[in-house]
Structure 1
Amino acid sequence: MAGKEKPMELQNQASYRNLQRREEAEHSSPKSAELLRKLRIMEANQQDKLANIMEALGKFGPFQRRLVALTFIPNILAVVFMYADLFVSGEQKAYCNTSWILDVGPNLSMAEQLNLTLPRYKNGSFMTCRMFLPVTWDLDSIIKFGLNYTQPCSQGFVYPESKTRSIINEFDLVCGEDFSPEAAQSMFMTGLLTGALIFGFIGDKLGRYPCILLSNLGIIIFGFGTSFVTSINQYLFFRFGLSHSLVGHAISSMALTVEWVVGEHRAHSIILSQSFYSLGLMFLSGLGYTFPHWRLVFVFGTAPVLFLVSFIWILPESPRWLLVKGKVEEAKQELLSAAERNKRTIPLPLLDKLQVPGKKVANASILDFYSNSQLRKVTLVMVIVWFTVGHSYSTLTLKMEAFGVKQQLIEIIPGMMGMPARLCGIFLFEHFGRKWSMAGALFQGSFMNLLIPFIPSDLKTTLLLLILVGQLSLSTSISMFFAYSAEILPTVLRATGLGLVTLAWASGIIVSLALMTWSPPYISNYIGYVSTILSLSLFYMLPETQNLPHVDILEHFSIYKRSRRSNKKLSKEILLAESKLYSEVNQEVIRNTLLNAMMEPEPDLFSSPVSSKEASTNNQEEGQALGRS
């Protein structure tokens, strides 16, 4: 009897020690939260049947490489349309048209005509916006007595020193009707604002494929249409429509790429495609300096867009979007077509398991960005960060312009150097993860912006170098933020979410343009200080997405959730999540992993140690109890 009581007493002591360890594990909330996060990731992986098919399809085969390559050409052409104003609105010195004097002196040269009919400044140069009042005298009288009374230009303008035809001398945008590049850029960015919302909604409602086709059609219509406008108002309208189409293509192609490419290739593909903006600037520079007429720049800049018509035959639809919308059979056809292109075979059992994610077809709207607490928090932080990036980059650009640098060089030099800077984002993502790589790039770019006001203005070279470094850092952060935003947003709202963050980015640029143009510079600096501090302080709220599975519906968005529940509820949730996984994953492996991770026996200096055999027995008994529960 005593022999039986002693083993029973040892067993009770071991159970008591295990219970103590369990209670200690319950009070270790950070560790428990991490375990819960891992369980959620494992559960998401088990539910994502499409991930297994993608593995069989090939992570980055010929099909995926062709898909990524198809995004290069639109990105190259997008830069042509975004920065075309730099080459078609060059400065032109205008003089009043005084051809009235040719009626009395038809053989006068242009120099003689201007000398007789235009007043001069004190330095001897001709006035650009005033002319002498026309008279009915003969030529000899005009030469002998000269003209005295002046008036504003009344018969248009001439541009004797101009060798090219631009929108300035085409529409006489001088002398009170000056063309403002800032206003034109604001109009373009306003188009991005509305286009981001419209095409974001279309991309999630109708699909990535029709959205890309619709945006390509808009690029062709508004791109070629810009070449035939007859007024500056028509020119701005077509630029506005063109920005709609460009942002629609950018959002939809980004979502399509992310949903077809898996693993580490997701972010790499987006960053690589955006690196080709530098080639677009080179192409635009060649057009601007080759063709003497601004209309030819748009004609030949839009001509390669005709290749995009072929997208109607070669572009696939996203299988993830099709599954979210309940179109399982169409998704299977797209996957089989991709497998044929990759020369791979998808096992039929995998295709048979393909089903709609979740319990039913997902229905979502833009209101879910408010109603879903986790999505609302992440989106709000991303909106603040995107506003900061847009505001800081635009402010740096305008500060460089204040130093007298030519407007073309302001965009071309950072753009050319942007390719290696963006490619560095791939290295940062792989070695430091998404979250801290973005934080570092944003801090460096914003810090340069905040440091410049404290540098003496006579150190021009130092200031320009700081501006250039800040622009390159922010260019890198833009590419990384696009890749991160596309990764973290759920498939059901991915295009809409990309539209929202693009809207925030464009808003930052517009605010910077308005404040730097019509208010003292320190106001824009103060807004930059506040938004930068706020963005960096909220960065900890963004989850890390490296090596995480795709999120298709809002119910799966909880894998990014940081639990703040009480320790007791957290421990209970871990056990419930563990039991849900038993049907899909090896029960013994998960049970032992959880028990070992949560209990981690520490050396007790005041009690006798328990043998490894006894501890193993206790763990097995407790595991069986969990299984029965």
Structure 2
Amino acid sequence: MPLEAISHKDVKFANILHAVGEFGKFQQRLVVLIIIPGILLGFMYAEYFVFTDQEHYCNTSWILAVGPNLSEAEQLNLTLPQTRNGSFLTCVMYLPVPWDLDSIIQFGLNNTTTCQDGWIYPNSKTRSLINEFDLVCSHNPNDESLRGISMAGFLTGSLIFGFLNDMLGRYPAILTSLLELTIFNFGTAFVSSLHQYFFFRFLVSQAVMGYTISSVCLATEWLVGKHRAHAIFLEHCLISVGVLFLMGLSYSLPHWRLLFLVGGAPMFLFIFYICIVPESPRWLMMKMKVEEARQVLCCAASVNKRTIPYSLLNQLQLYGKMVTEASVLDFFYNRHLRKVILMMNCVWFTVSYIYFTLTLKMRGFGMDLHFRKAMSSIMKVPVRLCYLVILEYKGTKWSLIVTLTQTTIMCILLLLFQDTQLDSTIMLMLVLGESSLAVTITVLFIYTAELLPTVLRAKGLGLAILASSGGAVSSETMIHQFLSLQPIVLCCILSCMALYFSLLLPETQDQPLSDSLEQFSEASFQRKVSQIIEDISRKRNYDTKKMAMAEDSTCGDVSEEAARNAIINAQISRLDADNLINTAWRSSQLRKLTTRVLEG
């Protein structure tokens, strides 16, 4: 964002936050409150551990009525058809017959049918959703439906909590998302059908996305500079730690219901967040709650053992009525916001598409699911810490450029090695690419929140998540509908496009956050005035040459031109000094000024 686009109110608010203390005890406590739920947010990946494959066969206990002393192996040999390599078919059985055991052994069974009495799981040591609800054969839910449930939750959560954050505040949105996450994550242990499970997981995914957006907004509006990036990076690192914690529980607990009971019980501790989570003072100012904003800031200063000068605190004034009327339509009507949100949504779409494409490619190598998730979660933590150093020194824009450049190179290498037999090399590149894209998503959360004004920050993040969901769905379609080479080719094209858009976005390093839409209108207004000044300058140069050529009327023309320029310059100075807010008024003044110049 150019320096002239920053509102004086935003600079004053940044000065107040510096007076409160950049990273005192209050901010440290806030960061801890934000990142602790990150460990339990990892439970949104529970589907990877409760839908594990189970060895199963048709239940043929009918034969025990005529041969109660048969061993398990003998029962399977007599009642299940076999493949050429000697293994039993899992979804087919021999049709029961009213014979005695000797006749069955002598003549054997020939007619086959699908499983009639359910399935058995002879070597299963744990109780999972697969063997509890018999989700095998034709009843097995495919991976697309499982990912679709989570994606639908992310999509609706981004929209609902995007509007909820900007309407009711960051504090109610965080409490609502934590309450929803606690109830439905713990309640998953008591579902009695697969449809109930899917409904509960949909609401859990919705709450996870709601908390992510709310926590990013709160951290962005309370913290300053690099501390903001540290908090969001730590939260996302703890999500990876939460996945490892979830994996350990799934290995140690014998029943899938215990996984949600043990993992969901600590979430009830978040009830205490009602008393200790602070509201964003920036959002309070946007809602005309000046006194409440001053009280929150004074409370933060007292915790940090600092004192805000009365003259500085008294500078908090109402921002005007226009900011409270901001809606998602402002992304369309405001030229600057429209450009920013379109480019950011393209980048979000690209990152999501490539991330899910690489994830689906990894599954094609037949690697164990638990090992793959563990390796991915472990890799993401050090990679995020490395990019945190880049973000501290170069800012969010160049951190995004670096991650997208690495992603582009990785996609090109994958395209070159696509037809080779170097599976280990391809696997390594897929893991590195997935980790790099996970960091890119973290940077995008920070960058998007910094680019958008407080009055539309959560809604903008919700629209970005919506674009990200579109990328995930497109990835799923491309992988299953087209040849294996085409999705990687599209990854290369999209990554180059996203890199180009990231170069066009403004830098936010060392810039105060914007709160209202005022500065965007001011930036547009100043650009128009600058253009008019340039037109005046060109006209002045042209008239000067013309006057030099006209020998008879030199003195009269010069005096007339000087008077005209003095009037125009006075009008421009008056427009610049008034600090106008009403865009329609500014437009009318510009039209009058332009008309006067042209007539002159």
Return the TM-score normalized by structure 1.
0.82
Per the alignment, residue 432 of structure 1 pairs with 394
CA contact 1:193–1:502 (8 Å) conserved in 2: yes
Q: 1:574 to 1:331 in 2, by over 3 A?
A: farther
The CA distance in 2 between the partners of 1:560 and 1:532, in whole Å, is 30
Per the alignment, residue 476 of structure 2 pairs with 513
What amino acid is the match of 2:388? I
The CA distance in 1 between the partners of 2:479 and 2:389, in whole Å, is 35
Shift of 1:39: 3.8
Shift of 1:220: 1.5
The CA distance in 1 between the partners of 2:118 and 2:25, in whole Å, is 59
Paired residue secondary structure (1:276): helix
Query: Is 1:475 paired with 2:431?
Result: no
Paired residue secondary structure (1:71): helix
What amino acid is the match of 1:492? V
The CA distance in 1 between the partners of 2:321 and 2:467, in whole Å, is 34
Shift of 1:539: 2.2
CA contact 2:20–2:306 (8 Å) conserved in 1: yes
What amino acid is the match of 1:480? V
Show the 5 A alignment for 1:382-393: 382-393=344-355
The CA distance in 2 between the partners of 1:395 and 1:343, in whole Å, is 50
Shift of 1:45: 4.3
CA contact 1:449–1:467 (8 Å) conserved in 2: no
The CA distance in 2 between the partners of 1:155 and 1:359, in whole Å, is 68
Query: Is 1:369 paired with 2:334?
Result: no
Shift of 1:92: 0.9
The CA distance in 1 between the partners of 2:573 and 2:392, in whole Å, is 33
CA contact 2:216–2:232 (8 Å) conserved in 1: yes
Shift of 1:272: 2.3
What per-residue deviation string (whole Å, max 9, x for no partner) do you get for residues 7-37 of structure 1?
A: xxxxxxxxxxxxxxxxxxxxxxxxxxx9xx4
Q: 1:80 to 1:577 in 2, by over 3 A?
A: farther
Per the alignment, residue 286 of structure 1 pairs with 248
What amino acid is the match of 1:408? H
Query: Is 1:64 paired with 2:5?
Result: no
Q: 1:235 to 1:136 in 2, by over 3 A?
A: same
Shift of 1:278: 2.2
What per-residue deviation string (whole Å, max 9, x for no partner) do you get for residues 155-184 of structure 1?
A: 100010211111111111111222323320
What amino acid is the match of 1:110? E
Q: 1:275 aligns with which of 230, 237, 255?
A: 237
CA contact 2:10–2:515 (8 Å) conserved in 1: no
Q: 1:199 aligns with which of 146, 161, 177?
A: 161
Shift of 1:191: 1.3
Q: 1:210 aligns with which of 152, 172, 176?
A: 172
Per the alignment, residue 197 of structure 2 pairs with 235
Show the 5 A alignment for 1:545-624: 545-557=508-520, 563=527, 566=531, 568-569=533-534, 576=573, 580=577
Query: Is 1:91 paired with 2:39?
Result: no
What per-residue deviation string (whole Å, max 9, x for no partner) do you get for residues 547-583 of structure 1?
A: 001100111236887958637349989985996499x
What amino acid is the match of 2:520? F
What amino acid is the match of 2:33? L
CA contact 1:220–1:305 (8 Å) conserved in 2: yes
What per-residue deviation string (whole Å, max 9, x for no partner) do you get for residues 388-446 of structure 1?
A: 11111111111111111122233321211111111222211222222222012012123
The worse-fitting range, judged by mean Cα deviation, of 161-170 and 270-279 is 270-279
Query: Is 1:120 paired with 2:82?
Result: yes
Per the alignment, residue 226 of structure 1 pairs with 188
The CA distance in 2 between the partners of 1:523 and 1:47, in whole Å, is 47
Q: 1:474 to 1:191 in 2, by over 3 A?
A: same
Q: 2:382 aligns with which of 420, 430, 433?
A: 420
Per the alignment, residue 452 of structure 1 pairs with 414
CA contact 1:389–1:474 (8 Å) conserved in 2: yes
What amino acid is the match of 2:289? K
The CA distance in 1 between the partners of 2:276 and 2:93, in whole Å, is 61
* Structure 2 unaligned residues grouped into runs of 5+: 538-568, 580-600
What amino acid is the match of 1:403? F
The CA distance in 2 between the partners of 1:315 and 1:279, in whole Å, is 23
Shift of 1:514: 2.8
What amino acid is the match of 2:230? H
Give % identity: 49
The CA distance in 2 between the partners of 1:260 and 1:574, in whole Å, is 40
The CA distance in 1 between the partners of 2:55 and 2:229, in whole Å, is 48
CA contact 1:387–1:505 (8 Å) conserved in 2: yes
Q: 1:357 aligns with which of 306, 312, 319?
A: 319
What amino acid is the match of 1:216? L
What per-residue deviation string (whole Å, max 9, x for no partner) do you get for residues 290-324 of structure 1?
A: 11211111111211211211111110111100000
Paired residue secondary structure (1:513): helix
Q: 1:241 to 1:96 in 2, by over 3 A?
A: same
What per-residue deviation string (whole Å, max 9, x for no partner) do you get for residues 51-81 of structure 1?
A: 2221121011111111111122221111122
Shift of 1:226: 1.5
Per the alignment, residue 142 of structure 1 pairs with 104
Paired residue secondary structure (2:113): strand
The worse-fitting range, judged by mean Cα deviation, of 287-296 and 229-238 is 229-238
Shift of 1:332: 1.3
CA contact 1:94–1:158 (8 Å) conserved in 2: yes
Q: 1:305 aligns with which of 262, 267, 277?
A: 267
Per the alignment, residue 11 of structure 1 pairs with none
Q: 1:47 to 1:296 in 2, by over 3 A?
A: closer
CA contact 1:59–1:262 (8 Å) conserved in 2: yes
What amino acid is the match of 1:190? A
The worse-fitting range, judged by mean Cα deviation, of 503-512 and 486-495 is 503-512
Per the alignment, residue 262 of structure 1 pairs with 224
Show the 5 A alignment for 1:6-25: none
Per the alignment, residue 51 of structure 1 pairs with 14
Q: 2:257 aligns with which of 264, 270, 295?
A: 295
Q: 1:92 to 1:358 in 2, by over 3 A?
A: same
CA contact 1:323–1:356 (8 Å) conserved in 2: yes
What per-residue deviation string (whole Å, max 9, x for no partner) do you get for residues 446-496 of structure 1?
A: 331343132133111111111122112212211111111111110001111
Query: Is 1:409 paired with 2:371?
Result: yes
Per the alignment, residue 347 of structure 1 pairs with 309
Per the alignment, residue 380 of structure 1 pairs with 342
Shift of 1:361: 5.0
The CA distance in 1 between the partners of 2:356 and 2:145, in whole Å, is 14
What amino acid is the match of 2:227? H
CA contact 2:390–2:399 (8 Å) conserved in 1: yes
Q: 1:358 to 1:271 in 2, by over 3 A?
A: farther
Query: Is 1:187 paired with 2:149?
Result: yes
The CA distance in 1 between the partners of 2:297 and 2:309, in whole Å, is 12
What amino acid is the match of 2:32? A
Return the TM-score normalized by structure 2.
0.86
The CA distance in 1 between the partners of 2:570 and 2:131, in whole Å, is 71
The CA distance in 2 between the partners of 1:329 and 1:264, in whole Å, is 29
Q: 2:71 aligns with which of 100, 109, 114?
A: 109
What amino acid is the match of 1:225? G
Q: 1:360 to 1:185 in 2, by over 3 A?
A: closer
What amino acid is the match of 2:272? S
Q: How many residues align?
A: 544
The worse-fitting range, judged by mean Cα deviation, of 483-492 and 264-273 is 264-273
What amino acid is the match of 2:463? L
Q: 1:314 aligns with which of 260, 265, 276?
A: 276
Query: Is 1:329 paired with 2:291?
Result: yes
What per-residue deviation string (whole Å, max 9, x for no partner) do you get for residues 332-386 of structure 1?
A: 1111221222122222222222112356653211111111110010000000000
Q: 1:161 to 1:195 in 2, by over 3 A?
A: same
The CA distance in 1 between the partners of 2:453 and 2:61, in whole Å, is 66
